[in-house]
Structure 1
Amino acid sequence: MLMALLAAVLAVTIAPQGATAAPSTPNFPAAIDDYSTYQPQTQCTAVKKGTVALRDLLNRTYGKHPAGLGRDCDQGGTSEHKDGRALDYHFNVYDAGEKADADEFLQWLLETDKYGNKHAMARRLGIMYIIWNRRMWRAYEPSAGWQPYSGPNPHTDHIHFSLSWAGAQQQTTWWTSAGVSQLPRGPLWDRTRWAGGSWDASATEVDGNTALADTAAATLPNGNMYVFNVVPGSGVWYRGRTAAGDWANGATQIDTNGSISAVAATGAPDGSLHVFSVVPGSGIWHRRRAADGTWSTSTHVDSNPYTTAVAAAALPNGTVSLLNVVPGSGVWHRGRTAAGAWAASAQQIDTNKYITSVAAASLGNGTLHVFAVVPDGGIWYRNRTAAGAWAATATQIDQNDSLLSVSAASLPDGTLHVTGVLPGSGVWDRTRTASGGWTNATQIDTNKNIFATYTAGLPNGTLHVGALVNVN
């Protein structure tokens, strides 16, 4: 994700309030994508990561605006919203500042680059067509320029973007160009909430590696905490923190698979650590560290090749719950007994095909709590009783439709903390009390470039929230 460069527009007349600079442009090589062909919607699938990333790019540049992503199959006719490739981003043509922002962004998308490539950023992002203010631009008819649009919606209160499949799946040069990475990467920072409820005023840098792509944390009964970070092309590295608060000087590599895309971790009552890694096209792999510090080899525990996100939680009885997101399908759960046996198959616990991020936490009473991000829908919560019965329906606990990811942890007092990442805003924390009531969200970090978090609770009642800060 990009750092937006905010700048006042200097001119003879005063710029409309709210007008800002376009997104910063990386130093791309000359090689560029072909124009997108017309690829109409033919199926109903989950919102794609490239579509979410385009929304987040706009939010980081112009501040949060309402945005529409997915659409139900039975709503209206053919639409790329239904297969997750369309974004309605709300600028109002009758608001001078918003119109200036919209026009600035569209100019940036369609201008010629230094190599003479026309419509350069639209091609690099995989834009298929744009509709705005009664006009339409088509990548498959680029020489025609902007053409009149007479559809039933004039698109004066939002810009419609439809992406090619390559753009929606982040396979265009905006994401893949050699030497230029727009996928979020950055160092890890940690912030403490003390048992009394106060947060540290600032965060502490835990790992300065600017290539970190995902993070997870686990705590043990002895008060030690461990963080696990994904380094694309390298694998998974971990670093420990003692109960006294001392971080290890360096990170240790525990997995050399450079294809790992996501990680989850949990600590069990017997002092063991459990780490789960997602390998695209392969599934989920599990590695255990015994209480004496020895690591096992990696074991394949789920072969679904489409898994994109993962979460884990250990329960007081020694069992481990593994949750994974399968786009277009929902969230699946698989259990591991205290003796180490995995369930033969996974159980689908949520059929929402749009879920993109999942988190899990357990309480001392044996209940399991799962949180899921739905683009354009906020955070949804579902719990499982100590006896193993899942709630029949999920409950929406946060309505913010721009949330990117979620992490969660429990504390000894029976509270749960749910941490959400809001691009362009920072990190927000919401608490579930021991009696089951939810508090309002509190902003705990204003760094708008944060893209992933961990949340970890310690036996002494302190809470740690780690954040990866994008430097791309």
Structure 2
Amino acid sequence: MLRRLLRRLLGRLVLPLLLLVAVLAPSVPAAGLEDYAPYQPQTRCSPHAKPGTEALGRWLVRRYGGSWGGVSRSCGSGTSEHAEGRAFDWTLDASTKQGRRTARAFLRDAFAADAKGREHAKARRMGIMYVIWDDRMYAAWDAFEPEPYLSSSCRKRAKCSATLRHRDHVHISLTRKAGRGRTSWYAGRVDAG
């Protein structure tokens, strides 16, 4: 009698518990492809370059050209992923045909669909949170759709420097996980320890 009562009670609880777990469980990327990254602003000062950020920067310069623009920035001058070592500035010049061509090649590659048709596959695997280049921002949380960008330090685009307009470099901010080299793109490139 007690067994039957317990079985009936468990039977009534199992389905609601499974539904609750399914709703509360974090989403798991399909076949190793990360979800679009949410915005993860700087929350602490830790400006030394993270291993994933360094690996991505080296790869970009080696594969596409351009120059190493750096990772670290001092803390205290506003919110910046540079101050957490997970943003890279890749030096390219938007006023030159070569600079524009190089940036376009990277953006086309990063935002392309993979063999399974999954959009922005490489950027998602790299853990790119957003890219700023030539007065445009490409944010993961908006499926990398280009949006006009104007630095909060500028009142008008015409009076804003090439650096603040991101016309002399491409800014790439990574998630914390990517900064540590722990997204799928970094496998074999970074010892994630």
CA contact (8 A) 1:86 1:162 kept: yes
* Residue 147 of structure 2 corresponds to residue 147 of structure 1: yes
Give the deviation of 1:162 after TM superposition. 0.4
Higher strand share: 1
4+ runs of 1 displaced by more than 6 Å?
none
**TM-score (norm: length of structure 1):** 0.31
* Residue 63 of structure 2 corresponds to residue 58 of structure 1: no
**Which residue of the partner structure matches residue 164 of structure 1?**
175
SS of the residue corresponding to residue 140 of structure 1 reads: helix
Aligned counterparts of 2:118 and 2:146: Cα–Cα separation in 1: 18
**Which residue of the partner structure matches residue 111 of structure 1?**
112
Gaps of 5+ in 2: 1-29, 155-163
CA contact (8 A) 1:134 1:148 kept: yes
Distance 1:66 1:175, change over 3 A: closer
Give the deviation of 1:32 after TM superposition. 0.5
What percentage of residue pairs aligned between the two structures are identical?
Answer: 39
Give the deviation of 1:95 after TM superposition. 1.1
Aligned counterparts of 1:86 and 1:66: Cα–Cα separation in 2: 12
CA contact (8 A) 1:41 1:82 kept: yes
**Residue correspondence of structure 1 range 256-267 to structure 2 within 5 A:** none
Give the deviation of 1:61 after TM superposition. 1.1
Give the deviation of 1:126 after TM superposition. 0.3
**Which residue of the partner structure matches residue 83 of structure 1?**
84
**Which residue of the partner structure matches residue 125 of structure 2?**
124
Counterpart of 1:145, as a letter, is E
Aligned counterparts of 2:68 and 2:141: Cα–Cα separation in 1: 28
Aligned counterparts of 1:134 and 1:125: Cα–Cα separation in 2: 22
Deviations 1:256-288 (A, max 9, x none): xxxxx7xxxxxxxxxxxxxxxxxx5xxxxxxxx
Counterpart of 1:171, as a letter, is R
**Which residue of the partner structure matches residue 43 of structure 1?**
44
SS of the residue corresponding to residue 189 of structure 2 reads: coil
Distance 1:107 1:71, change over 3 A: same
**Residue correspondence of structure 1 range 341-420 to structure 2 within 5 A:** none
Gaps of 5+ in 1: 1-28, 184-260, 262-279, 281-472
Counterpart of 2:57, as a letter, is R
Aligned counterparts of 1:61 and 1:95: Cα–Cα separation in 2: 19
Give the deviation of 1:40 after TM superposition. 0.2
CA contact (8 A) 1:109 1:122 kept: yes
* Residue 144 of structure 2 corresponds to residue 133 of structure 1: no
Counterpart of 1:166, as a letter, is K
SS of the residue corresponding to residue 32 of structure 2 reads: coil
**Which residue of the partner structure matches residue 157 of structure 2?**
none
Give the deviation of 1:79 after TM superposition. 0.3
**Which residue of the partner structure matches residue 21 of structure 2?**
none
Pick from 158, 165, 174: which aligns with 2:185?
174
Counterpart of 1:36, as a letter, is A
Counterpart of 2:113, as a letter, is T
Aligned counterparts of 1:64 and 1:132: Cα–Cα separation in 2: 14
CA contact (8 A) 1:30 1:115 kept: no
SS of the residue corresponding to residue 81 of structure 1 reads: helix
Deviations 1:426-471 (A, max 9, x none): xxxxxxxxxxxxxxxxxxxxxxxxxxxxxxxxxxxxxxxxxxxxxx
CA contact (8 A) 2:113 2:120 kept: yes
**Which residue of the partner structure matches residue 92 of structure 1?**
93
Aligned counterparts of 2:83 and 2:186: Cα–Cα separation in 1: 23
- Report the count of equivalent residues: 151
Give the deviation of 1:30 after TM superposition. 4.6
Aligned counterparts of 1:182 and 1:120: Cα–Cα separation in 2: 18
Give the deviation of 1:64 after TM superposition. 5.3
Aligned counterparts of 1:165 and 1:112: Cα–Cα separation in 2: 24
Query: Highest relative contact order (Cα 8 Å, sep 6+), 1 or 2?
Result: 2
CA contact (8 A) 1:41 1:79 kept: yes
**Which residue of the partner structure matches residue 252 of structure 1?**
none
Deviations 1:178-218 (A, max 9, x none): xxx334xxxxxxxxxxxxxxxxxxxxxxxxxxxxxxxxxxx
Aligned counterparts of 2:65 and 2:40: Cα–Cα separation in 1: 30
Q: Of the two, which has the highest radius of gyration?
A: 1
